[in-house]
């Protein structure tokens, strides 16, 4: 009887263990069920979101967002990413920081995008930064070169735009060493964008021993630039560095031209598009601008592919126009595509972040020499220079790749 009772006890214990095991162990997930746990990812699609100035005072930059969509359509036509097509939702923020934040919240919380790509403008980037920092959403190819977005780095934020601070140094270095510039003026937007450009120019002037004779800020709401132009003319610098939107920069340069003040113009990559020549004509002839993506009219394989894809996939004649802004859309979108291609295993947000942190001197068709680590999310730090030609209404490449210390 004791043996029977002992066997009965063991049977009850093993039975209880079996029941507990069945209650606590979930069945293995199918691939389809696993995908449902990743926002914005299905078996055949990856949903991405962005916001930008399709309207408003910086609407010329809206071409960048639309070109990103064109780039993704070109990638989709070639098979997508591991069989998945990329779908981009673009919202218009009118270059307004509060609108940019509202849009990003909508993309994350309502549209359930997998990742954010782009977001254009230093102030807009600042407005969005804390919200993204508190989330697990990857933000790739940030279109803001303000140092505050990458110093210190944010775990899930990977900057695409080379720092304004570094671009200003490259331009001033060239002006001093190649153009024999002795005095410099800076016309800049009074925010993080212009402020970082000014800081870079101040550092370069100090390092090179030249005089910064005029610092002239403007506000986004400004429409009359006669006072700004007069102040710059009175200082009479050899060269003037501009950190502004195409619209504000063109109004300022046009006003200077009417005053017969014609220095050597130097421009941030934000105004490195032929649209400046179209707006200003001969007044912009000879202007030297920094840029970070291939020359749209160049003969690199990336430039050739860009022209073919723009013609094949862009929706309108405006968006088919060759220029730095449409090229920039391909440039910023390529950061995300290169990251997605390098994901090992199932596609999750964490896996994409790990993939981005694995970049070491990565060059694609558009991005150049990009390294990311957990301690450095600045992205590309190299530039090259182009010169405006009013006769051809194009920009001609005049340098190799340059780094701030060059």
Q: So what's the pLDDT on residue 15?
A: 44
Q: What is the mean pLDDT of residues 61-69?
A: 95
CATH of range 165-291+385-397; options 1.20.140.10, 3.40.50.2300, 1.25.40.10, 3.40.50.300? 3.40.50.2300
For residue 373, give both structure tokens: 């680590």
Q: So what's the pLDDT on residue 321?
A: 92
C-beta separation of 208 from 172 below 8 A: yes
Q: What is the mean pLDDT of residues 309-313?
A: 96
pLDDT at 375 over 80: yes
How many alpha carbons fall within 13 Å on the CB side of residue 203? 16
Q: So what's the pLDDT on residue 90?
A: 98
Q: Which residue has the higher pLDDT, 18 or 339?
A: 339
Confidence of residue 23 (pLDDT cuts 50, 70, 90): very low
Confidence of residue 206 (pLDDT cuts 50, 70, 90): very high
Confidence of residue 288 (pLDDT cuts 50, 70, 90): very high
| 314-346: pLDDT as tens digits | 999 989 999 999 999 999 999 999 999 999 999
pLDDT at 406 over 70: no
Tell me the three state secondary structure of residue 185: strand
Q: Of 65, 85, 89, give the one whose Cα is nearest residue 75.
A: 85
Q: So what's the pLDDT on residue 205?
A: 97
Q: Which residue has the higher pLDDT, 273 or 26?
A: 273
Strands 157-159 and 183-189 turn out to be unpaired
Has domain 45-161+297-375 been given CATH number 3.30.1490.20?
A: no
Confidence of residue 36 (pLDDT cuts 50, 70, 90): low
Q: What is the mean pLDDT of the chain?
A: 91
* DSSP letter assigned to residue 120: B
| 161-175: pLDDT as tens digits | 999 999 999 999 999
Report d(CA 148, CA 151) in Å as an integer: 5
What residues contact 15, with CB distance under 8 A and at least 6 apart?
none
Q: Which residue has the higher pLDDT, 248 or 10?
A: 248
Q: So what's the pLDDT on residue 29?
A: 39
Confidence of residue 7 (pLDDT cuts 50, 70, 90): very low
Q: What is the mean pLDDT of residues 100-127?
A: 97
pLDDT at 379 over 60: yes
Q: So what's the pLDDT on residue 26?
A: 36
Q: So what's the pLDDT on residue 201?
A: 98
- Percentage, residues of the chain above pLDDT 90: 89
Q: So what's the pLDDT on residue 37?
A: 85
pTM of the model: 0.86
Give the CA distances from residue 219 to residues 188, 192, 224, in Å, rounded to whole numbers and listed in that order.
9, 12, 11
Looking at the chain, which residues constitute the CATH 3.40.50.2300 domain(s)? Answer: 45-161+297-375, 165-291+385-397
């Amino acid at each position: 009887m004791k043996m029977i009772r002992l066997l009965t006890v063991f049977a009850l214990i093993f039975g209880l263990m079996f029941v507990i095991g069945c209650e606590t162990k979930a069945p293995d997930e199918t691939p389809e069920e696993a995908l449902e746990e990743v926002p914005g990812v299905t078996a055949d699609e990856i949903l991405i979101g962005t916001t930008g100035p399709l309207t408003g005072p910086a609407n010329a930059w809206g071409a960048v967002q639309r070109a990103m969509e064109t780039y993704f359509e070109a990638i989709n036509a070639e098979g997508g990413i591991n069989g998945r097509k990329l779908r981009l939702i673009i919202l218009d923020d009118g270059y307004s920081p509060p609108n940019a934040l509202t849009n990003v919240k909508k993309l994350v919380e309502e549209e359930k995008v997998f990742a954010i790509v782009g977001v254009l403008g230093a102030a807009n980037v600042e407005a969005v930064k804390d919200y993204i920092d508190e989330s697990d959403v990857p933000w790739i190819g940030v279109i803001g070169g303000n140092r505050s977005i990458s110093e210190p780095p944010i775990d899930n934020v990977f900057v695409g735009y080379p720092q304004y601070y570094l671009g200003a140094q490259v331009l001033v270095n060239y002006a001093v060493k190649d153009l024999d510039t002795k005095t410099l003026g800076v016309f800049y937007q009074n925010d993080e964008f212009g402020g970082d450009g000014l800081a870079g120019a101040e550092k370069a002037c100090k390092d090179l021993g030249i005089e910064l004779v005029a610092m002239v800020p403007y506000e986004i709401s400004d429409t009359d630039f006669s006072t700004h132009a007069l102040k710059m003319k009175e200082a009479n610098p050899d060269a003037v560095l501009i950190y502004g939107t195409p619209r504000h920069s063109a109004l300022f340069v046009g006003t200077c031209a009417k005053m017969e003040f014609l220095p050597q113009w130097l421009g941030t990559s934000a105004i490195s598009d032929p649209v400046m020549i179209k707006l200003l004509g001969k007044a912009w002839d000879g202007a030297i601008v920094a840029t970070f993506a291939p020359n749209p009219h160049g003969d690199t394989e990336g430039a050739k592919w860009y022209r073919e894809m723009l013609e094949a996939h862009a929706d309108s004649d405006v968006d088919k126009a060759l220029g730095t802004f449409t090229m920039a859309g391909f440039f910023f979108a390529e950061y995300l595509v290169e990251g997605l291609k390098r994901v090992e295993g199932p596609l999750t947000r964490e896996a994409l972040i790990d993939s981005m942190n694995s970049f070491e001197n990565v060059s694609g068709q558009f991005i150049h020499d990009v390294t990311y680590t957990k301690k450095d999310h600045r992205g590309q730090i190299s530039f090259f220079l182009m010169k405006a030609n009013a006769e051809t209404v194009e920009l001609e490449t005049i340098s190799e790749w340059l780094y701030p210390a060059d």
